[in-house]
Amino acid sequence: KAGVTQTPRYLIKTRGQQVTLSCSPISGHRSVSWYQQTPGQGLQFLFEYFSETQRNKGNFPGRFSGRQFSNSRSEMNVSTLELGDSALYLCASSILPATLDYGYTFGSGTRLTVV
């Protein structure tokens, strides 16, 4: 079966612009999470969605937002981009509301570079 699909794979944006990243989870997976990975801070949780509802949000400014559609696909948006937003953005899906018995399946990520 198809894995978690993230688009685009690479993106270069200018400071001040906004960006939208997309994630299509594995069919049947209703929980979608987003993580930011940087060399300095490592992997940090952004937010999690289930049935179009955001259930948890990490410690990121309001410039970072997301949403989930009825088909479980998710998008995240970053407005007013800063140089520090350059990172690998990873999306993960899970078959359950919580991962008590299963791990997450991650996509290959979107590499965002802000110049």
Partner 1 sequence: SQQGEEDPQALSIQEGENATMNCSYKTSINNLQWYRQNSGRGLVHLILIRSNEREKHSGRLRVTLDTSKKSSSLLITASRAADTASYFCATDAPGAGSYQLTFGKGTKLSVIP
Nearest residue to 21 via CA among 83, 85, 96: 85
| 113 part of the interface to partner 1, by CB under 8 A | no
| 28 part of the interface to partner 1, by CB under 8 A | no
Site string for partner 1, 55-74 (x = CB under 8 A): xx-xx---------------
| 101 part of the interface to partner 1, by CB under 8 A | yes
What residues pair up with 38 in beta bridges, in sequence order? 42
Query: How far apart are alpha carbons 21 and 76 in whole angstroms?
Result: 5
Q: Select the residue interacting with partner 1 from 19, 24, 25, 33 (CB under 8 A).
A: 33
What residues pair up with 54 in beta bridges, in sequence order? 49
